[in-house]
Structure 1
Amino acid sequence: MLPVLPVLFMTGGAGAEPSRRRPFLIVAGLALSFTFVTLLGTLALAALHLPGDVLRWAGLTVLVVLGVAMMFPRVQDLLERPFVRLGRKSVPGQRGAFVLGLALGTVYVPCAGPVLAAITVAGATRTIGASTVALTVAFAVGTAIPLLFFALAGHRVAERVKAFRDRQRRVRFVSGLVVIALAVALTFNITDVLQRAVPDYTAGLNQALGADRLGGGNLQQCRPSDDLQDCGTTPRTAGISRWLNTPGGKPPALQGKVVLYDFWAYSCINCQRAIPHVEAWYQRYHDAGLEIVGVHTPEYAFEQVPANVADSVARQHISYPVAIDNDYATWNAFGNQSWPAEYLSDATGQVRHVSVGEGDYDGTESLIRDLLTAAQPAQTLPPRTDLPDTTPANPLQTPEIYLGSSRGGSEDVTRHGEWTATEEYLAAGKGASLTLDYNAATVYLDVGGTGTVTATAGGVTRSFAVSGTPDIHPVVQTPTPNQGTVTLTLSPGLQAYSFTFG
């Protein structure tokens, strides 16, 4: 909420006529539009075939207009005229405060953080249930309380400080400037730097809550562990639009088998590092009673295209069955929350183990062998697999950086030249380049389109061609982790989605 606090403080007491209702109207408008956009924005935009960030841009435009109106009475008069004809009071008065709150709410949506993950799933499934509504309303009400405090504080200052009372015109002018400054800061993601500069004192709480939410329905009691657990009945795969690597494109027969459900997305580097281990288990233990189901749930829009998934399955030499879960139906049935994630069930259909993220492949393989032996005690299992674990162990490694407007960006990435920002990616224009500060052994760029990427790091320059559907490409590769800077030049038309690291 940091970026909107100055606006709430300055505008809480900056009305054309002092009013105790003004702070409440601003915060009420913010909470209402925030709730609407998070709950229904995705569905409404999809139904109208509009870009995903149109509401945000509309809110930013309204903020600029209202800021100008606060600064210049003539603009205020123009905004008032339609309401005067209807016999109502002016926009910058009581109703102006509510409209300001509505505009703030549309640009406040990205501040929801972890709440948006639940809302995204609801939007992807096109179903919004009571729990989703309750979550969004609870967040809106909870965040409105401290926001109202700042708006009331600004109003009390305007009431009690003589300088504010005597210089209302100047106060409104400065308040308008603050509103416009917020719109500009949000447009260029300047506020991200401020938000990242504040210590994440809620991280521990979020992680604890995330662990409590791990798994859905009967899997809620299942936590990542080195031992087999009794986690409940395995949910059924649901909403699968297409099966790959199965006879006739039909679901595989799972009854009586040990089954590993692997949730993945094909451009996810963490998933790509885990896939060789999953494929090795399939090759080694399929004849001994193991079945693997790769549940492909998309993270980006381009990952929803079945042909793109099929192409990636072939490139990564995946031979086990893959289920395309574009509507998140199976994802929701398992209560899953991350890529990659694995759910191991025994031959009786009970989930016995959950693994989130990369690593601990030896431990997972031991549990697979235990369940196969329990299912068929008389059989002799083949030798264990022997693949290197390439999970990064660098505690200072740079985290994944998304480049689209819907999930922010990073102060570690500097743009040069012409770029067009969309919700999911940056589209390169004339003279487009990116400079990235990183700490890793390998830097990957998730990029699509047709063109050339030129990478310069440590005095070494290399170029590689990009064509076809988006996928990750290594732009820096060193034997050991290190701090460095890489500059990437992209051909016009290429689409940069994210940086990941290894």
Structure 2
Amino acid sequence: MITLAFIGLIGGLITGVSPCVLPMLPIIFFAGAGTGDNSTRRDLRPVKIIVGIIVSFSVFTLVGSVILSALGLPDDFLRWAGLTILTLVGLGLIVPALGHLIEKPFYRLPKINRNDNGAFVLGLGLGTLYVPCAGPVLAAITVAGATGNIGWRTVVLTVSFALGAALPLLIFASAGSRISQRVKAYRSHARGFRIGGGVVMILLAGALAFNITDVIQRELPSYTSGLEKKVAENKTVQGALAPAIGNASAELSKCTPGAAELASCGAAPEFRGTQKWFNGSPTTLADLKGKVVLVDFWAYSCINCQRATPHLLAWDKAYKSSGLEIIGVHSPEFAFEKDARNVQSAIRKEGIEYPVVQDNNLATWTAYRNQYWPAKYLIDADGTVRAITFGEGNYAQTEQQIRDLLTAANPETKLPEAVDGSVKADVGVDGRTPETYLAYSRSANLSGTSGKLTPGKTVAFGLNQAQPNDTYSLGGNWAVGTQSVTSTTGSQARINFNASKVYHVLSGHGTVIVSIPGEPDRVIQVDGTPNAYQLVDKSTAERKTMTLTYTAGVSAFTFSFG
């Protein structure tokens, strides 16, 4: 039980500092300040808010659908109830008399802190709006709630996850409370602070209602994705969460998520227990025999999924005529995502034209032993699962696997040029290649012929002959760390970029030979602590492929582009 609680707490802490919680921070900050002017024992208000969030999130994540069904309420009732509470609290900050009126019904609760009993109820409302990033821990909790398989293990995991995710929020609530007390000492500023907080909360309620915050969130780098993947791939975590995966389709365990090499992982499970189909009539994998199929598990409020969607759209456009069929399986994280109208709206908003099916009870999810949002299962023309990818990233690798399977299915087919390098989500400012991290914790866009980033091990990698746009590959042997990779024997790197200037952060002692076709080689001397070494200095941006050869003992961190 201790191990399970620790896993839940760590998963929650990672979620609590992820980009997905950013819309909650200003709400929590001003909520901690309170709706009235009485600061008596105000230090307990943030705690009550956070306790309310933990209780609300835990209960409604596990049994929200059951409660709504029993009461005959729509799936998105809880979300709109939370938005209503948030709006009322914002109005209460602007109009103190209204704030006292809102909290008055809660004065009859146990008088631990009479003036702040409404804080706990506010926390309950905020818990229905809290939509954290989906990692393996939250996936296990969601599956348990959807399938009704709720035991003591699930409860421990849920409460510890909610506690971990709420702790960073407590910091902001406490900060809001303390600043509020100081401001209220100067009555000339107190009213402005309170009204400003109310306006912010009302505006954020509107932004959450119309999903405006999603636009900002998906433009931010997913700076916790590396940690989420590290947790997901940890053997102890996998063992602890195994009951949520089940024993169905055991052959799928032959596929290592994220592996560059295609494997043979048994027959793909059929779509089962599904509800409404969008963008076409119901279909089966049997109907799709002869085509290469990409099954994408997603949820419309999942920011990680939203950032991955442009790649799916590009592949659908480029390869559909060559025999690729993408099927989106919408597997909801939360009750409000079960509403078919909300799913339809998200499909229209994202411009998705490939078929999407609702998997409200996670029956298809469970059949695929899935653990992540988003997750991609690549199926060959014979109906065999050949590759699995969890989370964001590895897009160029997935596209190459699609191309390989399409060619295998029809050797005479003529495929278009690879499209992933042109996808907006992968391109930096003004089309420049985005910063590229090489180590395990934040690596993205690794596209090589062999080798997988495995922290704490020396791994043999293989360079690509033709490097896809805005990706890199490693060659030779590298010692893989969480922050850098260190050269050992025959170590090389190859990167395709579009930029006028290229910088490489290196440390250690040795040399790096920089080779660009048509240009003389350059030798970089590396000596000392991490520093940015300029590899390319041009007046205009150019699309180039660069190969670097390292002597042993050089640690490589990132490539950045100007």
How is 1:38-437 mapped onto 2 (pairs within 5 angstroms)?
A: 38-45=61-68, 48=71, 50-79=73-102, 81-83=104-106, 86=108, 93-107=115-129, 109-112=130-133, 118=139, 122=143, 125-127=146-148, 129=150, 136-157=158-179, 161=182, 164-165=184-185, 167=187, 171=190, 174-175=193-194, 177-189=196-208, 191-192=213-214, 195=217, 199-206=221-228, 219-220=252-253, 222-225=256-259, 227=261, 229=263, 237=270, 239=272, 263=295, 269=313, 270-271=315-316, 274-278=319-323, 297-298=329-330, 301=340, 327-336=361-370, 338=374, 341-343=377-379, 353-354=387-388, 357-364=398-405, 384-389=411-416, 392-398=419-425
Where does residue 56 of structure 2 map in the other structure?
33
Does the CA-based 8 Å contact 1:240-1:330 persist in structure 2? yes
| 8 A contact 2:291–2:324 mirrored in 1 | no
Q: Is it true that 1:3 corresponds to 2:39 in the alignment?
A: no
CA shift, 1:25, in A, is 0.6
Instruction: Tell me, yes or no, if the aligned pair for 1:30 and 1:102 is still in contact at 8 Å.
Output: yes
Structure 1 339/12 Cα, relative in aligned 2: closer, same or farther at 3 Å? closer
SS, match of residue 297 in structure 1:
strand
- Are the equivalent residues in 2 in contact too, given 1:71–1:174 (CA < 8 A)? no
**Deviation of residue 296 (structure 1)?**
7.0
Closer, same or farther: CA 56–119 of 1 in aligned 2, 3 Å: farther
Aligned length: 345
What is the Cα-based RMSD across aligned positions, in Å? 5.4
Q: Which residue of structure 1 aligns with residue 438 of structure 2?
A: none
User: For the structure 1 residues 210 and 66, does the alpha-carbon distance in structure 2 shift closer, same or farther, using more than 3 Å as the test?
Assistant: same
Unaligned 5+ runs, structure 2: 1-20, 278-282, 298-308, 332-337, 345-352, 390-394, 427-562
Aligned to 2:125, the other structure's residue is in SS state helix
TM-score, with normalisation over the residues of structure 2?
0.46
- Give the 3-state SS of the residue equivalent to 2:421 in structure 1: coil
What residue identity is the alignment partner of 1:223? Answer: P
Q: Deviations over 1:201-242 (max 9, x none)?
A: 2243345556778x96653452354545475x6575473679
Please say if 1:12 is aligned against 2:28: no
**How far apart are 1:184 and its partner, in Å?**
1.9
Separation of aligned partners in 1, 2:284 and 2:175: 63
Structure 1 residues 172 and 133: CA distance shift in structure 2, 3 A: farther
Is contact 1:297–1:324 with CA below 8 Å preserved after alignment?
Answer: yes
1:76–1:92 Cα contact (<8 Å) kept? no
CA contact (8 A) 1:9 1:155 kept: yes
Give the Cα–Cα distance (whole angstroms) in 1 for the partners of residues 223 and 215 of structure 2.
16
Aligned equivalents of 1:114, 1:276: Cα separation in 2:
34
Give the Cα–Cα distance (whole angstroms) in 2 for the partners of residues 136 and 128 of structure 1.
13
Name the aligned partner's letter for residue 193 of structure 2.
V
**TM-score normalised per structure 1:** 0.51
Q: Give the Cα–Cα distance (whole angstroms) in 1 for the partners of residues 24 and 147 of structure 2.
A: 30
Aligned to 2:520: none
- 8 Å Cα contact 2:141/2:154 also seen in 1: no
